[in-house]
Structure formats: structure tokens, C-alpha cells
Amino acid sequence: MDEAGPMAGKTCVVTGATSGIGLETAAGLAAEGALVVMVSRSAQRGKVAKEKALARAAHGGHVDLRFADLFVQGDIRKLAAEINDSYPRVDVLVNNAGLLIGKRSLTPDGIESTFALNHLGYFLLTNLLLDKVKVSAPARIVNVSSEAHWAAKWEWDNLQGERKYRQFRAYGNSKLANLLFTYELARRLEGTGVTVNAVHPGLVRSRFGGTASPALRALIKVGSPIMISAKRGADTVVWAAAAPELAGATGKYFIRRHESNSSLLSRDRGAQQRLWEMSERLTGLSGEP
């Protein structure tokens, strides 16, 4: 019989879990004995990913699969309700789902797609699961951000590409939003036993660039030999989710298992609070108790 792993008895939710960093994160947590809830948009890819993660599960670790289109707020609300109803605890939430999108488009909710998935998806799902995470304390929230946040051009009247859309700038803005959200949430959760940290996984070979423009896809392909594997990219994510030495560490930004400095704008409390309030309005949370 397997002896208990370090994450035995813990429930971990991982979004964007069908490939790349998300799949490796799910598999890594299952290998440490956790019950991992993998969130997938595609039933076919989700089932394949689940089998891959199960193959690495150890110490009693197990994998469940849930489906949601995280571009769509109604789907996120349904997903959160399923998780809240199905699991007595959520010890770890890893917000990982994200894309670099070549052409501006709107979701069914009327939100620009990059901003909707990469930021509002994190914001809404986290808030809807927050009560369950709090009662599971000590618990952790890990937001996958990126060093691409340094490329952001933050304009409050153009965060959704209303005036001009540039794919990498939109992506950089969304990754900056992840950090603003991380720091604001960490401050709001002080004293609850829930920690919130962000991670840059590195430049990873994955499917994430598949929705970029043809020119950028070609550039990513040329650069792929110098990129790291998804397993290596997920290493710091799994560490941030599970490492005993990080107990109590919150409001941090990690790269290769080391705390790092993020941009000055990401540390601006006024910007953090303003984005929070904007996100509440865009997700309809401002009107909820």
C-alpha cells in the first residue's frame, strides 16, 4: 500500500488542465497524493488529459474532471456551483487557463476575449470558490502570471482593446492584471489562513500560442528549441501549491522557485483596487451579497 503523500487528503482545482503547464501541474499534484479536479473546455481532450494525469497519480492521489468554457461567465458560475456542491473542501486553487489571441473578439458576455479568459476568469472563479477555500484553511491560491506583464501598456480606457488591439500587449495587460489581482486578494485575505501568490512558469513549449496571429505562431515555432518543457514550467506552480516551506507566504511573485520583483505598476495599490472594482462590475459580483 502506498504511504500517504504530502498532499494526501487535499483537494486541488486546476484550470486549463488539458495540456501544457496545466496538465503537468495536475499530474504533479496527483503524484503527491492530492485529489485533483481538472477543468477542461473540451470533453475529448479532457478525458485524454485525465488519463495522463491518472497514470502519474501516487500515494492515493486521484483525478476528477469538470467541464467549463472559461470564456463564458455562466459556465464559470456553473462550474463553481458544481465544485462547491461536490467537494467538502478546496485546499488549492490554481488559476492557469490562458491564451494569447491574435485577433480581437468578444465573448458571449460582450467582453474582449483575452481579458475575459486570462483575467476575469481568474477573478470570477476565485471569488465564487472563496468561501469553500476559506473553510479549508490553511489553503492556497496560485495564479499563473508571466514576465510578459513587463510589456503591458496599461490604459484604463483601452484594457479591452476598445481603441486599438495588439495581441501581445493584450496578453501582457492580462498578465499584469493577474498580478494586480494577486496582490489585492492577498491583502483582503490577511488573517484568514488563505495565501495568494503568482508564478511565472518560464517560456514554455505548449499549445498556448496556437490562437496567436500566423506571424507570431511562426516566431514561436522558430524559438521553440530554446523553450523549456511544460513539466519544467509547471515545477514552480506545483511548488507554490504544495511546498511546506511556503506556509504563510502570501502576496509573492515567484520565478524558478525564487521570489522575484514584479513591475512598479503591479504594486500600485490604487490600480489594484480600481481593477478589483472594475472586475466586480464586469462579472456582476458588485451586486451580490
**Is the pLDDT at 216 greater than 50, yes or no?**
no
C-alpha span between 152 and 148 (Å, rounded): 7
The pLDDT score that the predictor gives to residue 1 is 39
For residue range 239-266, list pLDDT tens digits in order. 999 999 999 999 999 999 999 999 999 9
CA nearest neighbour of 257 among 275, 239, 271, 274: 239
**Is the pLDDT at 65 greater than 70, yes or no?**
yes
Q: At what angle do helices 269-283 and 121-135 cross, to 10 degrees?
A: 90
Tell me which of 122, 171, 183, 253 is the catalytic residue: 171
Is the separation of the CB atoms in 117 and 99 below 8 Å?
A: yes
C-alpha span between 9 and 60 (Å, rounded): 9
pLDDT > 70: percent of the chain = 89
The pLDDT score that the predictor gives to residue 57 is 93
Q: What are phi and psi of 180, to 5 degrees?
A: -55, -45
Give the global pTM: 0.92
**Is the pLDDT at 165 greater than 50, yes or no?**
yes
| Mean pLDDT over each residue of the chain, to the nearest integer | 91
The pLDDT score that the predictor gives to residue 202 is 72
The pLDDT score that the predictor gives to residue 210 is 55
CATH code for the domain defined by 11-283: 3.40.50.720
Angstrom CA distances, 95 to 4, 16, 122, 199, 215, stand at 26, 8, 6, 10, 28
For residue range 13-52, list pLDDT tens digits in order. 999 999 999 999 999 999 999 999 999 999 999 999 999 9
| Sign of the dihedral defined by the CA atoms of residues 142, 145, 146, 151, in that order | negative
For residue range 174-214, list pLDDT tens digits in order. 999 999 999 999 999 999 999 999 999 977 545 555 555 46
Average pLDDT over residues 60-65: 96
User: Is residue 171 among the annotated active site residues?
Assistant: yes
**Is the pLDDT at 238 greater than 50, yes or no?**
yes
Q: Where are the domains of the chain?
A: 11-283
C-alpha span between 109 and 118 (Å, rounded): 15
